[in-house]
Amino acid sequence: MDVNRLQKAQEALDAEIKSFFDSAPPLRNIEDIGKDLRKFVEFNPPQAGTQIDRKVVCVTSGGTTVPLEQRCVRYIDNFSSGHRGAASTEYFLKAGYSVIFLYRKGTRQPYCSLLPDDPFLECLEFTQESGIQVRQPYSEAVKNAISEHHAMLHLVAISMRSIGPHALFYLAAAVSDFYVPWESMAEHKIQSGSGPLDMRLVQVPKMLSRLRSEWAPMAYCISFKLETDVKILLEKANAALRKYKMHMVIANELLTRKEEVTLVTTNEKIHVRRDPKLVGDIVEKHIIKHVVDKHSAYVDNFDHKVSRA
């Protein structure tokens, strides 16, 4: 692409991103989130002169919805359960990372996979002696879930930029590719009875390249590529790697996503699968092991370059 066309493409993307953010209703509690963010940064300062081992990962998890009305009655949704993000978070914590878990309400939470789907009804019992208590089979799982959640509550948001290469983005959320801009959205519930619904969805601008080039240029960035047709999966993952300058793209197919994935980087493809013979073995355990190794090598390489400069 020549310089002129490249600049035009940049300007078009800038305009799309601006119109995407302008058309969205303002973020609620933005001040509180900002406060948490600053607290987290102070809690997690890069320590000059010491070998920093504290790494921070931002895990995005669960699906995103596309509202069709401003006073939303209906929305377009996707399948993501949030399992990948929640399970990966557990392994990141085990590996010593601080985690910002950015998830969709109602999707899977770390440390809750052993709890029943309706924890309040299933986990609790009433006894004359001690009133309401956690039933024995769930007591260990509830204890783990409570203690880990408290640790994570601190970690709502962070300025990832300030910790340079120690920051890792692990973008497992299934992000909608299309949305209805706020100004063209019906205010009230769309009425039925007037024939088929004709609605134009606008493409969500890809923020990945912005994340890499401006928002956190030193961070290690991993995105996911999901397809239903395995024949095009690796080709699409490679294209995303190049186009958005990701450090790694994790390729998965809808039906086998809990069994196997391929970690694609510029010079290798690592196929990772869970061992079905091992009880409790999950693919996230293997993914995070490789991710932690790659991120460590990236940080070492970075520190090495800085010390030589």
- Positions in the binding site for ligand 9Z3 (CB under 6 A): 80-84, 171-172, 174-175, 223-226, 252, 257
Q: Of the two residues 158 and 251, which places its CB atom closer to ligand 9Z3 in the complex?
A: 251
Strand-pairing partners, residue 168, are: 57, 220
Q: How far apart are CA 89 and CA 111, in angstroms?
A: 9
Report the phi/psi class of residue 180: left, alpha or beta, with left for phi > 0 and alpha for psi in -120 to 50.
Answer: beta
Report, in Å, the least distance between residue 242 CB and ligand 9Z3. 14
Q: How far apart are CA 158 and CA 167, in angstroms?
A: 10
Report, in Å, the least distance between residue 198 CB and ligand 9Z3. 26
Radius of gyration of the chain (CA): 22
For residue 146, give the amino acid letter. I
Report, in Å, the least distance between residue 252 CB and ligand 9Z3. 5
Q: Of the two residues 158 and 222, which places its CB atom closer to ligand 9Z3 in the complex?
A: 222
| Cα–Cα nearest to 35, from 154, 164, 147 | 154
What are 85's two structure tokens? 């993000």
User: What does 149-215 look like in DSSP terms, one character per residue?
Assistant: HHHHHT-S---GGGGGGGEEEEE-SB--SEE--GGGSBSSPPPSSSSS----PEEPPP-HHHIIIII
Q: Of the two residues 44 and 80, which places its CB atom closer to ligand 9Z3 in the complex?
A: 80
Q: Of the two residues 73 and 239, which places its CB atom closer to ligand 9Z3 in the complex?
A: 239
Report, in Å, the least distance between residue 205 CB and ligand 9Z3. 12
Report, in Å, the least distance between residue 178 CB and ligand 9Z3. 12
Q: Of the two residues 167 and 299, which places its CB atom closer to ligand 9Z3 in the complex?
A: 167
Q: Of the two residues 241 and 292, which places its CB atom closer to ligand 9Z3 in the complex?
A: 241
Report, in Å, the least distance between residue 58 CB and ligand 9Z3. 13
